[in-house]
Structure formats: C-alpha cells, structure tokens
C-alpha cells in the first residue's frame, strides 16, 4: 500500500437520502481515512437476507427515519427514529424495515492497517458475511437461501481471484 497523502481540510458531497440504494458507502466521495460510514435505506418490509459481523470494527447504527428492527446475536431489537445502537464487532447483526422505509446511518472507527485491500469498497474491510445465518424474517424462505448461496459463491470467486492476483504480484517474474 502506498502512503496516504494528507487529506484535504474538508470534503462536501450531497446525497438525496430519499433515493439511496440499500447501501451507500461514501468512502471515496468523502475521501474518508479514519471513519467508516454507511448509509442504509431499506424499503418498507425489506431487510438483510443474512447476518454479518466484523473482526475488529465496532459499529454504531443511528436511526434517522422510519421504524424497523435489528437482530443482534439472535435477539430482536425494535428500532424507531432517534434510536442509536452500538454493536460489538463479533456480534452478528442484520436490519429490517417495518411498514415504512428505514433510513440508518452506520458508523465505525477504523483500526490502523485498514483497508487491507486498496480496491475495497469499504474503508474497513473486515466484515464477515454469514450467508447461512438467515434472519428470522426470512427463515424458511427457499428463495432467500438460494440467493444467499449465490452471494456466497460470488464472494468465494472474488476471494480466489484476489488471492491469485496477489500471488502473481508476489512471484518474481522471469527476465
């Protein structure tokens, strides 16, 4: 990794919160170096299809708009506008909107050494998806199980590609 240049004094971007996709990471737009930030907008009745945890990152979820719930290590936690929830790194978590859209800002501190991969979508790339841990709102749904299995296969292919690329870069090239 190349050493980072000194960040600008400030960076300003504008997002229309009403039209955001499920998850927006403004890492590059804001030139973030020490704060992980995710903007989460879930349509009414929809939620994550699997849980995730982190190796190191503690996260804070700030409910800006809407009503929903979050599963944290199997416990359902109701959410409403104004709630702030801290989640320990190893805790498995997932969000779901109730009968209206849910808008949440997720923030976390970034330990030294992150991101581990220069092309990472997120500033801290220590997330661990648990594709086999389906939240209660989708348990028993074969379409969700199939989708999660496809996502897992896509992730494994990407990891293999990344490993092959890093191995070829590390191997001395014949002259």
What is the reported pLDDT for 109? Answer: 81
Residue 35 has pLDDT above 90, yes or no: no
pLDDT of residue 45: 97
- At 165 the three-state DSSP class reads helix
Contact indicator for 50, 129 with CB cutoff of 8 Å:
yes
How many distinct structural domains can be found in the chain?
1
> Do the domain assignments include residue 89?
yes
Average pLDDT score over residue span 3-13: 77
Q: Mean pLDDT, to the nearest integer, of 155-171? A: 73
**Cis amide prior to 115 (ω within 30 degrees):** yes
For 77, the domain range is: 20-169
Higher pLDDT, 165 or 50: 50
Is residue 73 domain-resident? yes
Confidence of residue 173 (pLDDT cuts 50, 70, 90): low
Average pLDDT over residues 68-97: 98
* Confidence at residue 1, expressed as pLDDT on a 0 to 100 scale: 46
pTM: 0.83
> Domain holding 38: CATH number?
2.60.120.10
Its sign, for the CA torsion 110, 116, 118, 120, is: negative
Give residue 28's pLDDT band: very low, low, confident or very high (50, 70, 90): confident
Establish if 53 belongs to a structural domain: yes
- Please report whether residue 108 resides in a domain: yes
Residue 12 maps to a domain:
no
Residue 5 lies in a domain: no
Residue 6 lies in a domain: no
- Domain membership flag for residue 3: no
Between CA 63 and CA 79 the distance in angstroms is 7
Q: How confident is the model at residue 14 (pLDDT cuts 50, 70, 90)?
A: very high
Q: What is the pLDDT of residue 56?
A: 85
């Amino acid at each position: 990794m190349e050493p980072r240049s000194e960040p600008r004094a400030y960076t300003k971007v504008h997002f229309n919160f009403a039209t955001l996709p499920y998850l927006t990471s403004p890492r590059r737009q804001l030139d973030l170096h020490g704060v992980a930030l995710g903007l989460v907008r879930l349509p009414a009745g929809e939620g994550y299809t699997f849980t995730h945890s982190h190796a190191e990152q503690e996260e804070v979820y700030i409910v800006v708009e809407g009503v929903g719930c979050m599963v944290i290590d199997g416990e359902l936690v109701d959410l409403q506008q104004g709630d702030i929830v801290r989640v320990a790194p190893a805790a498995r978590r997932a969000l779901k909107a109730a009968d209206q859209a849910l808008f949440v800002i997720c923030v976390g501190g970034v330990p030294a050494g992150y991101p581990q991969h220069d092309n990472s979508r997120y500033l801290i790339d220590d997330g661990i998806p648990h594709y086999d841990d389906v939240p209660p709102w989708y348990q028993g749904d074969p379409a969700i199980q199939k989708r999660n299995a496809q996502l897992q296969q896509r992730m494994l292919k990407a990891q293999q590609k990344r490993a092959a690329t890093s191995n070829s870069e590390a191997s001395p090239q014949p002259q």
